[in-house]
Amino acid sequence: MRKTFEIPLDIPDVTIENVETDRNRDLVITVKSTVEGTYCHTCGKKITKVYGYDREITLRHLSILGRKTYIRLRPVRYQCPSCDGNPTTTQQLSWYTPRSSYTKPYEELGCLNRPSAVDRFLDFSSQSRFSHVWWPSIFNHTRGLLRHQRRPILVFTTH
């Protein structure tokens, strides 16, 4: 019998660009920031002029369906028009620490060294495959669409 699973990705402020399974059957989720701008590391002003992208980072995230899961992101770099020399600052998102190899949810649960705490959905893994991403919306019956949820849901199916 075919079953469907919906798994929220505990990561705000991103849109999912791609979900793939790598050669080790690990899940690799490529995301893009939906936050615009950052704060100049020299003067502290909000800056929104995109200068480019940093090298891609890959962060271990909580396992999904028993599979190791990685989040991949190219951080955006912004340039300050006010400071001398127009220094650049890389945008930092709330769900990881600079130079960490892990997302914060993984650091919080993964460091307990209890696999069961990390694997929230045990173990449909050999059967399941990624289907699609959806963004739940919140509706009010008089006012219509209120807002889109900021956190995407990954949908998996088994056969």
Asked if 38 touches Zn ion (CB under 5 A), the answer is no
Q: For residue 56, which of 39, 32, 40, 78 has the smallest C-alpha distance?
A: 32
User: In the bound complex, what is the minimum distance in angstroms from residue 136's beta carbon to Zn ion?
Assistant: 38
Other CB atoms within 10 A of residue 29 CB:
23
Three-class secondary structure of residue 66 per DSSP = coil
Judged by CB under 5 A, the number of residues near Zn ion is: 6
Asked if 112 touches Zn ion (CB under 5 A), the answer is no
User: In the bound complex, what is the minimum distance in angstroms from residue 95's beta carbon to Zn ion?
Assistant: 25
Cα–Cα distance between 150 and 131 in angstroms, integer?
20
For Zn ion, which stretch binds (CB under 5 A), given 3-11, 40-48, 116-124, 141-149? 40-48
Residues that bind Zn ion (CB under 5 A): 40, 42-43, 80, 82-83
